[in-house]
Structure 1
Amino acid sequence: MLRLATASLVGTAIEFYDFFVYGTAAALVLGPLFFPSFSPLAGTLAAFGTFAAGFIARPVGSIVFGHIGDRYGRRPVLIGSLLTTGLATVAVGCVPSYASIGIAAPVLLLTLRFIQGLGLGGEWGGAVLLTAEHAPPARRALWGCFPQMGPPLGFLLANGLMLALTAALSRAQFLDWGWRVPFWAAGVLAAGGLMLRSSLAESPQFLELAKTGRRAAAPVAEVFRNHWRLLLLTAGALSTGYAIFYSVSTWALAYGTERLGVSPTLMLALVMAAVVVQGLLTPVVALLGDRFGRRSMCLAGSMLAVVWMFPFIALLCTGEPMLMFLGFVMALIAFVTIFAVLAAYLPELYEPRVRCTGAAVGYNLAGLLGGALTPVVATALSDGEATPWGVAVWLTGIAVLSTACFAALPETRPRPHPAGAQPAHPGEESVSA
């Protein structure tokens, strides 16, 4: 389990490094480089628009890779998704600026961002399923939190490299070539991840499905036909986690540097410090999820988000580093209280034959509302406002929606079966909706 969980953690860290490095670049440099004729606000909006394209691609990627995972195994998904995202990320670092090739530059950027999103759409489902389906039921949330620690590690790696470059280089050097270095580094990381994942064993639950001939012939059709309500509930429930994370890591980064006049280096450092706290709390929350239930933790996180979004905006707008850090930390505590248990919760909600598709599509559909729209909407709502309360209203509204969806979902924490009783699905010891 330790070897498998570590491989999942490293792989998701690499994939999310690729995804996050683009978000940081969108907040800091992509506007002036690829949309120079726009005003600063319009350029940032356009850069965040290409950022959103990755989220639009993620549900498509989850359908494609989910089909592969449910028909041919979880393991091939891990290899294919890592290759897709890694190659697209390296290519982003090679795209010439608008000054060199004109309109072709933002078109290439948009295309590569879409391909990047396709790969990441498959990554999460494959990684968490391979870990969760190997894990003992009583500790599934704990082992499942390993791939959930990959995103904060990827974020820290991406932003740490960006932070080092912004500190070491002049603004002209950073705009000229420095911002490309983190994208090129993705190639080295992807090669290491492929080596680590090449020897992983296939999920025992998938092997059981293949042996008994119970694999879904058309997983996507089966999910939309038989599990559409569950799909909508999981997408709505998870949307607040995306909204929180990308309001902190992407929108606040741009707002702090452009509107509040805080240096990019300081903003990156504050966000990274808050993400460190998030990463350290992930296994703690996962243990609580094994003890008190997945749904209970998710409800607690979404309700914390409801009450914290207005204080978060108020603290951000002070421009004071420690107050901004407090706002970031509390917001990310709400986020991690939800997302630390997801690697156990979502697989337990879907039956094994369509689990890779259902869990991945639900997870990535949430990214459209929470992740794709939030930086764009927040940037538009904060234009000309001294204190952007409209952003707080947006974030609070999403948190209320998520709370209602979690309330409608069942608890899935495994309970001991009576002597001689068999689980509903071979190899599955938890509730399946």
Structure 2
Amino acid sequence: MSTATSPQQAKLRKRSAIKAYIASLSGTSLEYYDFAIYSVASALVFPKIFFPGNDEFVGLLLSFSTFAVGYLARPLGGVIFGRLGDRLGRKHVLVVTLLLIGAATILIGVLPDYNAIGPAAPAILVLLRLAQGIGVGGEWGGAVLLSSEFGDPNKRGFWSSAAQIGPPAGNLMANGVLAILAASLSNEAFLSWGWRVAFLASALLVVFGLVIRLKLEETPVFKALVENNERSEAPLREVFRNEPRALIAAALSRISPDVIYSMFTVYVAVYATKELGMSTGNVLTAILVGSGVQIFIIPTAGALTDRFNRRLLYGIAAAGSAIYIPLFFIMIQDRSVVTLTLGVVGGLVFNGLMYGPQAAFITEQFPARLRYAGSSLAYTLAGVLGGAIAPLIFTGLYAATGTWYLIAVYLAVCAVITIVGVSLGRDPKPEEDLRLIHDVSA
């Protein structure tokens, strides 16, 4: 069997890998733009316009509950689209998830508030948030496989990081738009209609993302699975029956970065404004800067784990995040904008050091024929235990104690869980993908 690749073939494959990297990055950026504007709005806007008549704390909890619905819906998206991705291919599923999230976000932008249609407003909001979550649940696994399966399997940490840049890039765009609106409008105008502009703007982004994705071919790995007749007939059943350790390891690895991200992009807005008396603009600026730094940290971290042991570096970052949290709360007590910004940047750097190699670690736990279903299930199930309930837990712990100490303990426990996950996982096996591709090309 010949495994040689001609210079022309190598050049064409690299060009395809770059296109897939851009498509994965742009697609998840657009989708996490949609998701991020909901995250910020759930902390700053929705308690006032969709849950009025409650005291401030109850309104905030109700709003964060709708935020959590998006996470709770992700496993359903992982089940539906994970199976389809392993049966029908990566590309087609990614087009559907983009349309689903985009449509839900646009409809949220035109949804009448509680004063206009009463209880129907929060009820519809929950349904639209459910649709967003289902779409994101199917999006992540496909976006990761799109870039990693076109790229060099020996450099999966870097190529897989394309989808991981999506959240900070989307967060950067979302917070940038919201910061501009908040700075240029009065508080009354922002709450009345300004926030809707950010949601409706996603229509243009969805069109742009569709154009890119529709031009892509299917990944070489999936093509090889089809040609070799190695696709699974029941990928979900096989994952649960044959890959339980992989599923557990992959899911646990996600807990700490997910909770850290919720801390520094969602709850920090509540803590800084309500407890420290800082302005919304100050918080949005801090998140904006932190997201900008993450765009560079994430691919760098992914590439580093291609050179050094991925699991070891991942675990070190998780341990470092647990140590950092108490330092963050202590340093921001001076209520300085500079200190808050540096603190948020530091937290998002620790998140990026885990988030960069996360996609590679999760997907490489599963064989190629079960990769979409397995990685989607692990990613979405962990989201329920991580990011879904994190803002609620942060809010409840602070309300019960009046201090941040238990929040720090909670984040330390999450770090330990992630360390256990990466310890249970396996190291990369790039030869699996190389065998598939070479068997077809030989």
1:139 to 137, 155, 162: 155
SS in structure 1 at match of 2:389: helix
CA 1:292/1:30 → structure 2, altered by over 3 Å: closer, same or farther? same
TM-aligned CA deviation for residue 321 of structure 1: 2.0
In the TM superposition, what whole-angstrom CA distance separates every residue of 1:297-346 from its partner, at most 9, and x where no partner exists? Answer: 21121111221122222234442222222322222122111111123222
Residue matched to 1:229: 245
TM-aligned CA deviation for residue 391 of structure 1: 1.0
Residue matched to 1:120: 136
TM-aligned CA deviation for residue 212 of structure 1: 2.0
1:190 to 178, 203, 206: 206
Whether 1:293 and 2:297 are equivalent positions in the alignment is: no
The amino acid of 2:203's aligned partner reads G
**In structure 2, distance between residues paired with 1:354 and 1:216:** 7
Whether 1:108 and 2:124 are equivalent positions in the alignment is: yes
In the TM superposition, what whole-angstrom CA distance separates every residue of 1:121-164 from its partner, at most 9, and x where no partner exists? Answer: 11111111011111112322222222211111100001100000
Tell me which moved more, 317-326 or 303-312.
317-326
Any unmatched runs of 5+ in structure 2? Answer: 1-16
| 2:254–2:358 contact (8 Å) kept in structure 1 | no
Tell me which moved more, 89-98 or 286-295.
286-295
Residue matched to 1:326: 342
The amino acid of 2:287's aligned partner reads V
The amino acid of 1:375's aligned partner reads P
Residue matched to 1:308: 324
User: Alignment length, in residue pairs?
Assistant: 423
- Within-5 A mapping of 1:33-432: 33-383=49-399, 385-412=401-428, 414=430, 426-427=436-437
**In structure 1, distance between residues paired with 2:195 and 2:329:** 29
| 1:82–1:190 contact (8 Å) kept in structure 2 | yes
TM-aligned CA deviation for residue 283 of structure 1: 2.1
**In structure 2, distance between residues paired with 1:268 and 1:88:** 24
In the TM superposition, what whole-angstrom CA distance separates every residue of 1:35-91 from its partner, at most 9, and x where no partner exists? Answer: 111111111111000000000011110111111100000011110100000000001
TM-aligned CA deviation for residue 413 of structure 1: 6.2
In the TM superposition, what whole-angstrom CA distance separates every residue of 1:205-239 from its partner, at most 9, and x where no partner exists? Answer: 11111122221111111111111222122111111
**In structure 1, distance between residues paired with 2:237 and 2:361:** 22
SS in structure 1 at match of 2:37: helix
| 1:69–1:356 contact (8 Å) kept in structure 2 | yes
**In structure 1, distance between residues paired with 2:245 and 2:155:** 28
SS in structure 1 at match of 2:276: coil
Any unmatched runs of 5+ in structure 1? Answer: none
TM-aligned CA deviation for residue 270 of structure 1: 0.8
The amino acid of 1:357's aligned partner reads A
TM-aligned CA deviation for residue 424 of structure 1: 8.9
The amino acid of 1:57's aligned partner reads A
Tell me which moved more, 212-221 or 138-147.
138-147
Tell me which moved more, 381-390 or 102-111.
381-390
Q: Share of identical aligned residues, percent?
A: 37
TM-aligned CA deviation for residue 265 of structure 1: 0.5
With the length of structure 2 as denominator, give the TM-score of the two structures.
Answer: 0.92
- Please tell me the root mean square deviation across aligned C-alpha atoms, in Å: 1.7
**In structure 2, distance between residues paired with 1:20 and 1:145:** 19
**Structure 1 outlier segments of 4+, above 6 Å:** none
Tell me which moved more, 360-369 or 168-177.
360-369
**In structure 2, distance between residues paired with 1:318 and 1:49:** 31
Residue matched to 2:13: none
Residue matched to 1:16: 32
With the length of structure 1 as denominator, give the TM-score of the two structures.
Answer: 0.94
The amino acid of 1:297's aligned partner reads L
**In structure 2, distance between residues paired with 1:151 and 1:395:** 20
Residue matched to 1:29: 45
**In structure 2, distance between residues paired with 1:236 and 1:128:** 18
TM-aligned CA deviation for residue 354 of structure 1: 0.9
| 1:315–1:326 contact (8 Å) kept in structure 2 | no
| 2:322–2:408 contact (8 Å) kept in structure 1 | no
